Amino acid sequence: MTPPTAAAPDSFLLAADERRMPIGMYGRVRSRELIRVRPGVYAPTAWWRGLEPHARYVERVKAAALVFPGSAFMRESAAALHGLPIFGDPAFIHLFDPSRRSTRTFGDVVVHALTGHREVIRLDGRLVTDLVSTVVDTSRYLTPAYALAVIDASLRRGMNTTDLHDWSAADPDRRNERMLAWAWEFADGRAESSGESVSRAVISWLGFPVPVLQQVFSAEGVDDRSDFWWPTYRAIGESDGYGKYRAETAEEAVRKIVREKVREDRLRRQSDGFARWDWRDAHRVTLLEKKLRHAGLPQVMPRDRAMLATIRPLR
């Protein structure tokens, strides 16, 4: 279980702002009280190191917005500001400049030259591509399962695959069109997390039957929802997200674990097979396959080896 992160600072510390950056700032950097997020932008070290990789990327993008206030963010960087799923800590910050004829990279910043039109909106004071173009642009450059997670997340926010498909079809960028066509067809906003989206993709590619999502079970005066339900085989699948166990104190964490165990026991009593896995398990496809088979699920279709090859075990 990941411990709670330190509280976020009110804002980054800017070297250019003499009112907020006293002479002693450089001593604080040498003593490792502060860490440089990017040139001219600093943050408390304890807070920064407590961030998970995806959250660190979000903050890197926010720091870049301070340095490039008039620039518009796109792809993963816009996705981060829109609150869409981010996977790990991507290497680059993505901006775009419609006046450029070629894409250039400056350190960790990529300034894209685009042929197609992008709507730009202001989000919390920062310029970003609108949600539909952000979803399509980001998904084009992700692996299929991660692209599905981004698209599922956009559907949970009220988008629809018709709008996404139409925007993609009109875009001069044709990268990964076949993958996107699969994602438009397979996307489902009922998937409540990236873990569920990735798991759903892997389950399909392994050849298992299509599950019902978010099935409600009523028993003992309580309604419980399962992530995955196979009614023909009376099997339940749960994709574990460790965020549900995070707590400010050890006592609260224990209470959450006990509540989840009680919930699992209720679900087990209403099923003939039960499988639980986590984010890492979903990337170790052989392990997930064994868990699902142990729960009594048959593989009714051949494995899709090409798609499974896009899933890499996490380090």
pLDDT in tens for each of the 315 residues of the chain? Answer: 333 334 445 578 887 765 555 557 777 888 888 899 998 899 999 999 999 999 999 999 999 999 998 899 999 999 999 999 999 999 999 999 888 888 999 999 999 987 778 899 999 999 999 999 999 999 999 999 999 999 999 999 999 999 999 999 888 888 899 999 999 999 999 999 999 999 999 999 999 999 999 999 988 888 889 999 999 999 999 998 755 656 567 777 677 777 778 888 888 898 899 999 999 999 999 999 999 999 999 999 999 999 999 998 887
Q: Give me the residue label for tokens 């209403």.
A: 270
SS3 state at 142: coil
- Residue 215's domain is classified under what CATH number? 3.40.960
- Residues 298, 303: Cα–Cα separation, whole Å: 12
Q: What is the pLDDT of residue 17?
A: 65
Residue 164 and residue 257 in one domain: no
Task: Determine, yes or no, domain membership for 221.
Answer: yes
Pairing type for strands 34-38 and 93-96 reads unpaired
* 59 and 139 in a common domain: yes
Q: Are 291 and 252 in contact (CB under 8 A)?
A: no
Q: Tokens 């907020």 sit at which residue?
A: 20
Pairing assessment for the beta strands 126-129 and 34-38 based on DSSP bridges: unpaired
250: left (phi over 0), alpha (psi -120 to 50) or beta: alpha
In a domain, 235, yes or no: yes
Give the span between the Cα atoms of 17 and 29, in whole angstroms.
Answer: 16
Do residues 297 and 235 touch, judged by C-beta distance below 8 A?
Answer: yes
Q: Considering 139, 156, 186, which residue would you say is the last residue of a domain?
A: 186
- The pLDDT of residue 95 is 96
Structural domain includes residue 287: yes
Query: Residue 278 in 3-state DSSP?
Result: strand
Helix (H, G, I), strand (E, B) or coil at 166: helix
Query: 234 lies in a domain?
Result: yes
Together in a domain, 118 and 172? yes
- Domain end call among 128, 154, 186: 186
Cα–Cα dist 183/149, whole Å: 9
Is 44 in the same domain as 58? no
Tokens of 133: 């173009």
Residue 21: domain span: 1-51
The predicted structure's pLDDT at residue 2: 34
CB-based contact 46:29 (threshold 8 Å): no
Same domain, 98 and 139: yes
pTM for the model stands at 0.88
Question: What is the predicted pLDDT for the residue at 211?
Answer: 97
The whole-number pLDDT of residue 4 equals 36
Q: Please say whether the beta carbons of 170 and 209 come within 8 A.
A: no
Residue among 233, 222, 224, 212 nearest 264 (CA): 224
Residue 104 lies in a domain: yes
User: Do both 157 and 94 map to the same domain?
Assistant: yes
Q: What are phi and psi of 130, to 5 degrees?
A: -65, 170
The residues, any chain, with a CB within 8 Å of residue 65's CB and separated by 6 or more, are 71, 73, 125, 126
| 293 part of a folded domain | yes
What amino acid is encoded at 208 in this protein? F
Angle of helix 144-156 relative to helix 131-140, nearest 10 degrees, comes to 170
Same domain, 18 and 81: no
Residues near 300 by beta carbon (within 8 Å), at least 6 away in sequence: 207, 208, 209
Domain count, the chain: 3
